[in-house]
Every structure is written in structure tokens, then in C-alpha cells.
Amino acid sequence: MSDSMKTQLVSSIHLQEVELQEKPADDKQDSNNSNNADKTFTVEDAVEKIGFGRFHILLFVIMGSSNIVEAMEIMLLAVVSPEIRCEWRLDDWQVALVSTMVFLGFMVCGVLGGYIADRYGRWKVVFGGFVWSAYFSLLTSFAPSYGWFIFLRAMVGCGVAGVSQGFVLKTEFIPAKHRATLLPLATIFWMLGSMLIIILGMLVVPTLGWRWMIRISVTPSIILIFLFKFIPESARYNVSAGKTEAAMKTLHWIAKMNRASLPPGRLVEPVTSERGSWRILLSPLFRRTSVLLWYSWFVASFIYYGSVLSSSELLEKNLLCVIDADKEHQVKHRHEDGLCYCIPFGYSDYQTLLISCLGEVALVPANIALLNVFGRKMTLTVLQLLAAFFFMILNICSTMFGFTVLLFLLRSLVSMNFNVVYIYTAEVYPTVARSLGMGFCTSFSRIGGMIAPFIAQVLMSQSVILALCPFAVACVLCALGNFLMPIETKGRALLQNS
């Protein structure tokens, strides 16, 4: 054998050895790729893997600011009531009807908004709510008569119902372990909205009048309309609607913002055709929860707006049993020869309302602790029993400072209760019916909101104690009902379908 043939043979043997060494490595790489391709993950897995980061701060600020808009539109009623009573010489029931019409619009559009959000997306409903409420709120400032005023405020209530779906959109992006901390902090924005409208009333109403106050109050809504483009559609909704590619695009963007990565594999969720169906809410799994939740929402709204409107009414008509009352608080609404229609808020009244608004966030740390330690159901029970107690002692004779402290604590409790009910509802229902469930619940809550003005503004003029008793009794009954709720959502992942 020649030297050249020997060289070729050695080279061939060496080449085969190299190929044999490389082949297992290639096989291993192909196997890893195949395993990754076979792996799957859900939106819940992705949300938990991405964790909390910069996206959630952006989400918290923009969606939290929607609470500012909602609070301003609702609290506006308490500030503007003395002004429209004076301008149009309204009786008590006519003033109460203004709030009732707002909640009527909210109730009608609450279920409709929830259905549309489950069928066609959360983002569209929330954005439409911003535009709708801003437009009709601006028109309210040009209302030529009482009839036009209550009609336009009902239209505003319809828009606010859409804005309230933002809570669902926000909840669906937050990891489970952060929900009990982040969601209660949303009350900070509600407090800011309430304080902002009261400050506007203090500064603008005495000089420019209530119409200009409403026009200026529309500004936050207009700003948020432009900021809302930074909030994506819910990835949970997209996968339930079969839009997996859109959901992946959203999850990749959130992971990039948070400097995190998605789980290995591909996103797989079952497509559900029965989205936004009321049958899910009344199925054997959720029937008892739904019925008890509807009553809890009714009570949450009844006592919250009862406390807000009661404080406004007690201050406006000077119905308080105040030991150290000044001249400003000695002018009474009812006289033997008729009614005194024009008793505007004084500076001290605005000050009292502002301090009570601070109560919205004063006990947030306690609320977070209760949610994390005792869970949602027990927290609701404790808050409702305490609220019942403070409603009853609101009638005792006290100094103006003492009344302010009582009102401060009462507002803290009813605000915390409303916030926990929101959290529990968003957690207990599956994605395919979450917005509809929220819509039904908010609609039942507005029934409470519709009744509250006639208790807090009409009955209050006849008897303070008779007006406060229904709020206390409702709290006690609701606290008892919470023990019958079958599901605790503390630390539980959000369900995708039923």
C-alpha cells in the first residue's frame, strides 16, 4: 500500500470518529429543541413568571387614574347638591333623584358593559367609557333645566360603568401574590379624585359657579384618553377568544418592559365559545357565590354613598348635634314658614369633607394586613360589623372635631369594604365570565346607590337616627351572609374557564 493511500485511509477513519463525536451533541440539541417545542404554558404561568416590574407600575398609575375620574364624577353630586337646590328651588326628593339617575345609568350599562367586555374585549369598553363620560359630563355644565341635568347625569353614569371595567383589566395582569397589596392601594387614586372635586368646589364654585367646576373637572378624563394607548388588551381575554398571537405579543412586550422572560414552550389555552354567558354565573359552581355577592355589592354601594351623602346632608342642613356649633351651623333647612333652599357650603364644611376623604386611605395598611392574614371573606365580615357600629354612633352629640373623626373612620371602613368586594369579585369568577360577573355585581350595587339618596337626603331631614338605622342593619345582615360564601380566593390563581 502506497503512502498516499495510507494517508487517505487514516483521514477517513479520523473523519468518521469526528462525525460520531458530533452526532450525539447534535442529537442532544435537537432533543432539547423538541422538548421545548413540546412544552406548553398558560397566561397564568406567564404572568407569574414575568412577575412584578415596570409594566405594572405603568398599569397601576394609568388604570389607577381611572379611579380619579370615577370618584370625581360620583363625588361631584355631594358638592353640587347645595348649588342646584338653590338655583332650581328643589325639594329633598328632587335632589335625591339626581344621584338616583346617575346610578340608574350605571346599573343599566353595567351588565351591558360586562357582556361586551367578555365578548369583544376589556380595552374597548374602558376606553369607550372614558370618552362617553367625559362628553356627557361636559354637556351637564350647559344643562338649561333640572330635567336636562338629571338626564345628562344618567348618561354620565352609563359611561362610568364602562370605566369601572378597568378594575378587571388591571387585575388580569397582576401576579397572584401581589394582588392583595396592589389592588387595595387603588383607593389612593379614588381619594385623590374625591379631594380634587372638593378642592375645585371650594375654589371655583364661590367665584365662577358650579357649571365651570364641572367643565374643569373633565380635564383628567381627556388626559387619560390619550394615555390609555399605553395599556394593552388583556392577554387572558385574547386567549379565551382564540387570539393567541395577540396574547403572545402582549406577554412578550410586558416581559421586555419588566426585563424578564416567558416560560419555555408555546402558549396554549382552550378557546371558549361560551364567553359572557349569564349561565356561568348561575351554574352550580357559582350560584350561591353570585347571589351572596350581589347582596354584598348592594350593601357596599348603599353604605358607601350613604356615608358620603349623609355627611354632605348633615353639613348642608346643619342637622348635627354639635355642642360647639358656630353661627354658620345654626342656620336650619326647615322653618315653620317653609324651606330655606340656599344654604351653601362654608369653608369649614369643605374642610370637613376633605378630612373625611383622607379616611379613604388611612387604614389601607390594615386592609392589606387583613387580606393577607385572614383572607377576603373574614375581612369583609370585620369591616361590615365595624361600619354598622360607626353608623349608629354618628348620631351622638359631639364637638365638630369629634364628628370629623367619626366621619373619617366611617369613610375608611366603607371604602375598604368596597375595595375588598371588588378584589373578591375579580378573583372568584373565571376569565370567560369575569367582566360579566363584575357587570352584574356593579349593577346590583347601583340599586343600593339609587336607594341611598332617599335615605341619606330625604329621610335624614325627618329623623337622623331613622336614616342611619337602615345602613347599620344592612351591614350586619351582609356580615352574616359572608359566612355562607363557599369560596375563599386568598392566594388562588385566576381561573381561565369554569
Q: Specify whether the CB–CB gap between 260 and 53 falls below 8 A.
A: yes
* Nearest CA among 359, 357, 311 for reference residue 196: 357
Shortest CA distance to 37 belongs to which of 266, 239, 267? 266
Q: Are strands 338-339 and 334-335 parallel, antiparallel or unpaired?
A: antiparallel
The pLDDT value given to residue 320:
60
Given a contact cutoff of 8 angstroms between Cβ atoms, the answer to whether 265 and 49 are in contact is no
Cell of 215: 367643565
Any idea what the Cα angle at residue 269 is, between residues 268 and 274, rounded to 5°?
A: 155
Distance CA 393, CA 474 (A): 16
* pLDDT tens digit sequence for 309-363: 777 767 655 556 655 555 554 444 444 444 555 666 777 778 877 877 777 777 7
Q: What spatial distance separates the first Cα and last Cα of the chain, rounded to whole Å?
A: 79
Q: What amino acid occupies position 103?
A: F
Q: Is the pLDDT of residue 304 over 60?
A: yes
Model confidence band, residue 450 (pLDDT cutoffs 50, 70, 90): confident
Q: Which amino acid is at 234?
A: S
DSSP code of residue 261: -
Say what the pTM is: 0.73
Q: CA separation (Å) from 32 to 49, 260, 468, 492?
A: 21, 22, 68, 32
Tell which residue, 231, 195, 171, has the closest CA to residue 43: 171
**Residue 344 CB partners (closer than 8 Å, separation 6+):** 82, 83, 86, 205, 206
Tell me, what amino acid is at 311? S
Mean pLDDT (the chain) is 80
- Split at pLDDT 50, 70, 90, the class of 155 is very high
Q: Measured between alpha carbons, how far is 78 from 85 in angstroms, rounded to an integer?
A: 12
Q: Which amino acid is at 248?
A: M
Strand partners, 334: 339
Radius of gyration of the chain (CA): 28
464, containing H or E segment: helix 464-482
Q: What are the structural domains, with CATH classification, of the chain?
A: 37-269 (1.20.1250.20), 277-326+343-491 (1.20.1250.20)
pLDDT band of residue 472 (cuts 50, 70, 90) is very high
pLDDT in tens, 108-148: 888 888 888 888 888 999 899 889 989 999 999 999 999 99
